[in-house]
Amino acid sequence: MDNTGAHARENAKDKEVRYPENRVVGLLATREQLESAVDALTSGGFLASEIEVIHGAAASEKLRQNTGRSGLADLAMRFAESIGMPNDETAIKNLYADGLGSGQLLLAVLAPTEERRRVAGRILEEHGGTEVRFFGQYTIESASSRAD
């Protein structure tokens, strides 16, 4: 991804999938949407190092195969999935994996404060972002539910 100012995961096979704690995450359909969102984020005070772009079929498969958690949380999620128990976190992860598999781009922005969450969510949505959510330590919230 050139000229986005963001750190792209070009080689998803070598990257570990981790739960995106304290990040606003959303899908973008086009490179133009991605570039305009990244420009708006960096103009709005976010550092390029706080923005991550994930894309491609390899990233989709990697995301689908991993819970993003470690230790007991990983085991619990894998067990729940194996017995067919509903799990919102897994459903959202698979939704993002489906988007990546269909050519969409996943944008994640570090946003540890309430104000940065609100701004990042608004910017992603204004630039065409869909499925925009904030991932807290124990909760996942829709960006639109955070609106003032």
Map out the domains of the chain as residue ranges: 7-65+93-146
Q: What is the CA radius of gyration of the chain?
A: 15
pLDDT tens for the chain, 148 residues: list them.
Answer: 444 445 543 434 456 667 789 999 999 999 999 999 999 999 999 999 999 999 999 988 887 777 555 566 656 656 666 677 666 777 888 899 999 999 999 999 999 999 999 999 999 999 999 999 999 988 889 986 544 4
Q: Are 4 and 35 in contact (CB under 8 A)?
A: yes
DSSP assigned state of 127:
T
130-135 vs 23-28, strand pairing mode: antiparallel
Is residue 63 within 8 Å of residue 13, measured between CB atoms? no
Which residues share a beta bridge with 142? Answer: 133
